[in-house]
């Protein structure tokens, strides 16, 4: 039984125990809180509702729509959509906000409410605090019911915005005749990714796990150890690359023509290589747990790099403040503001495919052009206070190596390690990076041994 309330939304397991899981009661309460604290401030009376393909999604969607209607507001159901699709739709349909029902990379035992503002972006941390504060919410009395309707063009609108970007050369991409295999984890990516690939001129598409029934056939987090099926298929076939996404398709992971994972950290780095090489002097941003490679790419093209706390909205806020041309998170999340301030696998694909087509290179050749770093991610249960961890490590390292913006990050020579509480799981994450995987693992092992001793 778990219920986590953070800037990443309200996320929990599905035992239906109030206050201890993402129960029907909690879904109603948080929807009411969202309406009373956020939506009421806007002139629009429309809230969008979308979901990934988890089996629990439709039931949760029905609960949310009923609450919206009882409060006298209008709910527009987008059905099965990606998280960036609902963000784009909020602005397209002039809605007051949107609720995406998806627990991202968590398995089927979980679901979540991701709350968006009228700009189609995740709520600012201050607004999140208003929604999740401990307060019983009452329904508004004697309201005339609002309408519940369905809109089935959201993905088309999303694709149109990506296609409108001037860097996309559909004729060139079509000429390259790429052969692609897609693992949609049996969720919305199984719909969105093939349709998008077709829209940019790619017709040789093999679908794997693309039936949107929510039955994840492997761990839904697109890490190398979880995507062995598509890697094996590529090794036994003739594909230019493979595409893997998480259940709500805001994270993009690629596999090269040899069946080797490109590395989710390098999704953003590759996209940035394309954008920044064509816009020298521009800025970029990623979170503190993301690869040094983005900084190196940005400096290669005379730009300035910025970092933020982990969490999409934190990256977005820092990008806006510094007018960054591209940014995102090292989990495969690419944010390209010209389309939308949110992680989006479709724009990530568009940028990287355009780079491959223009340079006439393979994905493995592209990887060799990028700064080489190796990241190692671990997580561990920890029931103590994070402040105790921070104090312990601050006493072990010089002040100029320490960043406590989000947990504690220790910056070493061409390497680093970041220790923080997860926004999405009841764990502490330990992420390290160095010029070699051996060194990254060595750093992580040292830190975890110290954590056990605290």
> According to the CATH classification, is domain 159-369 in 3.40.50.970?
no
**Phi, psi for 32 (deg, rounded to 5):** -60, -45
Q: Where are the domains of the chain?
A: 3-152, 159-369, 374-453
Q: Do domains 159-369 and 374-453 have the same CATH topology?
A: no
| Per-residue pLDDT reduced to its tens digit, 83-135 | 999 999 999 999 999 999 999 999 999 999 999 999 999 999 999 999 999 89
Question: What pLDDT is recorded for position 382?
Answer: 74
Tell me the sheet residues that pair with 150. 77
Identify the CATH class of 374-453.
alpha beta
Question: What pLDDT is recorded for position 263?
Answer: 93
Question: Using an 8 Å Cβ cutoff, are 10 and 38 in contact?
Answer: no
| DSSP codes joined into one string, 146-177 | PPEEE---HHHHHHHHHHTSTT--HHHHHHHT
Which range has the worst mean pLDDT, 114-123, 238-247, 395-404?
A: 395-404
| Per-residue pLDDT reduced to its tens digit, 326-371 | 999 999 999 999 999 999 999 999 999 999 999 999 999 999 999 9
Assign residue 402 a region (left: φ > 0; alpha: ψ between -120 and 50; beta: otherwise).
beta
Question: What pLDDT is recorded for position 423?
Answer: 78
Task: Report the CATH number of the 3-152 domain.
Answer: 3.40.120.10
Percent of the chain with pLDDT over 90: 90
β-strand pairing of 74-80 with 148-150? parallel
| DSSP codes joined into one string, 326-347 | EEEETTTEEEBTTTBSS--HHH
Question: What pLDDT is recorded for position 197?
Answer: 98
| DSSP codes joined into one string, 158-224 | HHHHHHTSTT--HHHHHHHT-EEEEE-TTSTHHHHHHHHHHHTT--EEEEES---SS--SS-SS--G
pLDDT at 142 over 80: no
Helix, strand, coil shares, percent, the chain, to 5: 40, 25, 40
| Per-residue pLDDT reduced to its tens digit, 11-56 | 999 999 999 999 999 999 999 999 999 999 998 999 999 999 999 9
> What pTM, to 2 d.p., does this model score?
0.95
Question: What pLDDT is recorded for position 336?
Answer: 98
Tell me the sheet residues that pair with 80. 51
């Amino acid at each position: 039984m778990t219920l986590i309330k953070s800037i990443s939304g309200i996320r929990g397991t599905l035992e239906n125990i109030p206050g201890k899981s993402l129960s029907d009661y909690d879904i109603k309460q948080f929807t009411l809180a969202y309406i009373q604290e956020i939506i009421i401030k806007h002139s629009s009376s429309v809230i969008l509702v979308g979901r990934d393909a988890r089996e629990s999604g439709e039931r949760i969607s029905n609960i949310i729509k009923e609450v919206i209607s009882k409060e006298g507001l209008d709910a527009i159901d987008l059905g099965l959509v990606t998280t960036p699709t609902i963000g784009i739709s909020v602005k397209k349909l002039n809605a007051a906000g949107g609720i995406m029902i998806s627990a991202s990379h968590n398995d089927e035992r979980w679901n979540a409410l991701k709350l968006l503002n009228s700009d189609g972006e995740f709520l600012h941390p201050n607004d999140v605090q208003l929604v999740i504060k401990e307060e019983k919410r009452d329904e508004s009395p004697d309201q005339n019911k609002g309408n519940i309707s369905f809109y089935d063009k959201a993905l088309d609108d999303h694709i149109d915005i990506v296609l409108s970007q001037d860097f996309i050369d559909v004729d060139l991409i079509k000429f390259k005749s790429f052969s692609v295999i897609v693992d949609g984890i049996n969720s919305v990516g199984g719909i969105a990714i093939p349709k998008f690939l077709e829209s940019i001129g790619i017709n040789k598409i093999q679908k794997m796990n693309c039936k949107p029934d929510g039955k994840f056939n492997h761990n839904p987090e697109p890490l190398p150890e979880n995507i062995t099926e598509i890697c094996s298929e590529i090794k036994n076939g003739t594909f230019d690359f493979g595409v893997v996404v998480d259940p709500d398709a805001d994270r993009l992971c690629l596999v090269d023509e040899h069946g080797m994972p490109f590395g989710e950290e390098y999704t953003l780095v590759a996209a940035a290589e394309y954008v920044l090489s064509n816009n020298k002097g521009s800025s970029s941003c990623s979170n503190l747990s993301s690869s040094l490679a983005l900084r190196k790419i940005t400096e290669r093209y005379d730009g300035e790099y910025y970092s933020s706390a982990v969490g999409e909205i934190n990256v977005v806020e820092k990008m806006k403040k510094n007018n960054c041309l591209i940014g995102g998170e090292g989990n495969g999340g690419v944010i390209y503001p010209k389309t939308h301030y949110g992680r989006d696998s479709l724009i990530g694909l568009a940028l990287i495919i355009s780079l491959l087509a223009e340079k006439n290179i393979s994905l493995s050749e592209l990887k060799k052009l990028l700064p080489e770093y190796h990241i190692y991610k671990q997580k561990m249960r920890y029931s103590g206070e994070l402040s105790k961890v921070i104090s312990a490590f601050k006493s072990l390292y010089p002040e100029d190596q320490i960043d406590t913006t989000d947990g504690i990050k220790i910056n070493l020579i061409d390497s680093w390690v970041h220790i923080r509480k997860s926004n999405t799981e009841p764990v502490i994450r330990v992420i390290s990076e160095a010029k070699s995987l051996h060194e990254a693992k060595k750093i992580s092992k040292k830190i975890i041994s110290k954590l056990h001793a605290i």
